[in-house]
């Protein structure tokens, strides 16, 4: 399922930038869902879960010395934090402040669009709900109702296939947050597909994307990797 493994690359990219603080060419090759899950647990300070997953990744990359060294250092980080009594249960909450995760009781449902209407929302307004990435199944009904409708939003591009002539990319609310803070949650990340033969160039600044929204839980190897996609009809610089 190479097509959907590229969707995983956005989570790897934003987490690896924050943890390893290094630059790399965006790519989907050689990345396993297990490794993505381990990196996410590590970033969320879920030390016990991260340690268990990293031990499995360690076996997978034993013939890749550079990658193995990184994994082994992450294992040591987990072990040190667990030894200090900072282990968080694998089913426990992330370290994201509760204020950034509106509950179903306080969020305002998004009105259903009228025929021919384009829903124009910021990414964080679209993903303004708690989402259980472990179990899934709790996308609000009003969000599900947007599936197949015309949608417009804005954000920052993270290429998923290649650095030039980009046909697939992730759209996130802020690159600054990706690099220096908490990576965006899955409900704050949109996978954008350009029409066949309509690849776009890389935009470093904020862009506006319009197209058909798809709301569906996508899984790879049992892990949820995306819930929002857009088949784009327009990709252009966002108005200042």
Q: So where are the chain's domains? A: 2-83, 98-237
What is the rounded CA–CA span in Å between residue 162 and residue 170?
12
* Residues sharing a CB contact under 8 Å with residue 91, sequence separation 6 or more, in sequence order: 134
Q: What is the DSSP string of 99-162?
A: GGS--TTTSPPPPPPPTTPPEE--HHHHT-S---TTT-----HHHHTTTTSEEEEEEEEEESS-
pLDDT of residue 193: 94
User: Do 183 and 43 contact (CB within 8 A), yes or no?
Assistant: yes
Residue 211 phi, psi (nearest 5):
170, -155
Confidence bin at 30 (pLDDT 50/70/90) = low
Entry field: residues in the chain: 240
Q: 38: which strand partners? A: none
Host H or E run for residue 220: strand 207-220
Handedness of CA 132, 134, 135, 136 (dihedral sign): positive
Q: What is the DSSP string of 147-176?
A: TTSEEEEEEEEEESS-SSSBSEEEEES-HH
For 39-79, write each residue's pLDDT tens digit. Answer: 777 777 777 777 888 888 888 888 888 888 888 888 888 88
Query: Could you count the other beta carbons within 10 Å of the beta carbon of residue 116?
Result: 6
Instruction: Answer whether residue 148 shows pLDDT above 60.
Output: yes
pLDDT of residue 85: 67
Q: What is the DSSP letter of 235?
A: E
User: Do 190 and 173 contact (CB within 8 A), yes or no?
Assistant: no
* Residues sharing a CB contact under 8 Å with residue 89, sequence separation 6 or more, in sequence order: 46, 48, 49
Calculate mean pLDDT across residues 121-143. Answer: 92
For 167-205, write each residue's pLDDT tens digit. Answer: 999 999 987 554 444 567 889 999 999 988 888 988 889
What is the rounded CA–CA span in Å between residue 237 and residue 240?
9
Identify the CATH assignment for 98-237 out of 2.40.128.50, 2.40.50.870, 3.40.50.620, 3.40.50.300. 2.40.50.870
């Amino acid at each position: 399922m190479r097509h959907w493994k590229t969707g995983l690359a956005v989570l790897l990219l934003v987490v690896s930038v924050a943890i390893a603080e290094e630059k790399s060419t965006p790519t989907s090759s050689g990345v396993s869902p297990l490794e993505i899950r381990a990196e996410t647990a590590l970033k969320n300070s879920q030390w016990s879960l991260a340690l268990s997953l990293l031990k499995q990744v360690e076996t997978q990359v034993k013939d890749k010395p550079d990658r193995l060294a990184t994994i082994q250092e992450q294992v040591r980080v987990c072990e040190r934090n667990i030894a200090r009594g900072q282990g968080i249960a694998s089913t426990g909450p992330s370290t994201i402040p509760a204020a950034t995760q509106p509950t179903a009781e306080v969020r305002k449902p998004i009105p259903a669009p009228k025929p021919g209407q384009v829903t124009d929302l910021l990414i964080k307004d679209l993903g303004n709900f708690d989402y259980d990435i472990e179990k899934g199944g709790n996308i609000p009904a009003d969000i599900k109702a947007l599936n197949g409708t015309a949608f417009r939003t804005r954000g920052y591009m993270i290429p998923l296939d290649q650095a030039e002539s980009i046909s697939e990319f992730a759209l996130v609310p802020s690159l600054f947050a990706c690099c220096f803070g908490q990576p965006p949650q899955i409900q704050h990340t949109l996978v954008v597909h350009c029409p066949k033969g309509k690849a776009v160039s890389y935009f470093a600044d904020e862009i506006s994307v319009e197209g058909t929204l798809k709301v569906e839980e996508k899984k790879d190897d049992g892990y949820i990797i995306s819930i929002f996609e857009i088949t784009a009809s327009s990709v252009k610089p966002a108005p200042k």
